[in-house]
Amino acid sequence: MPVEFLQQEPSGGSSHATRLVMMYDGSGRRISKTAMRM
């Protein structure tokens, strides 16, 4: 599960949070689902 996604930084913003998930998952399918949630 994208734990980093929940720990998004207040300075980075949504873009930063999504990027962390990308590196964490490294799959692509989960990234799409996470992006939709945001």
| Average pLDDT, rounded, for the chain | 56
pTM attached to this predicted model: 0.18
pLDDT at 29: 61
Pairwise CA distance, residues 33 & 10, whole Å: 21
pLDDT at 31: 54
Q: How many domains does the chain have?
A: 1
pLDDT at 11: 57
Report DSSP letters for the chain, one per residue: --HHHHT--TTT-HHHHHHHHHHHH-SSHHHHHHHHH-
pLDDT at 33: 58
Residue count (the chain)? 38
pLDDT in tens, 1-38: 555 555 555 555 555 555 555 555 555 565 555 555 55
